[in-house]
Homo-oligomer: A and B are copies of this chain.
Amino acid sequence: MAKSQRGSQLADQIRGTGRRMTKARQAVIACLESAGLPLTHKQIARALREQGFEQTTVWRNLMMLVELGMVHRRELGDHLWRYELVRVEAAGPALAVVYFSCLSCSGLTPVSTEATPTLLQQSLPGVGRISEALLRGVCCDCAKAVERSGP
């Protein structure tokens, strides 16, 4: 049995392109897989350093995964690239990824996008097909904190 179905699936894909499935590569994928959220290069590199891998290696593997379309590289407003495994169910024509980033606490929240994509797309005719959205503002918790501290 595979440790991770998605992982071994990716491994096959990678080997299918004539590339090798190295330990570093496995570790990078495992790291992204277990995270669920987009991670910065730094975060991944730090996690994998304990396993003996260099940040350069991590970076190159991430870039390779991005190139193969297995990983999304994106920018979430704090000026750092973040990497995230592409989810298979997100490959459809609808809006794939929506995040909400709090300007106050810097927290990042994935937004459930069941109804949103269509709604968003419909509400903005003529902008092309939206594949991801980054929303910024003040999250509920921070808003409450502000209310409490003063009117």
Contacts and interface: CB of A to CB of B under 8 A. Distances in A.
Contacts of A143: 128-129
A115 interface: yes
Given A79-B79, A111-B124, A137 B131 contact: yes
Given A109-B127, A119-B123, A134-B136, 6 more contacts: A74-B77, A116-B124, A127-B140, A128-B140, A133-B133, A133-B136
A128 B139 CA distance: 4
Interface residues of A, number: 36
A90 interface: no
Interface of A: 74-75, 77-79, 81, 98, 100, 102-103, 109, 111, 115-116, 119-120, 123-124, 126-143
Contact of A130 (B75, B129, B131, B135): B135
A115 B120 CA distance: 11
A99 B48 CA distance: 36
Interface centre among A75, A109, A139, A140 (most CB of B within 10 A): A75
Contacts of A124: 98, 100, 111, 116, 135
A127 B115 contact: no
A142 B116 CA distance: 23
Closest 9 pairs between A and B when the two form their complex, measured CB to CB: A128-B139, A131-B137, A130-B137, A100-B127, A119-B123, A134-B134, A128-B140, A129-B137, A132-B136
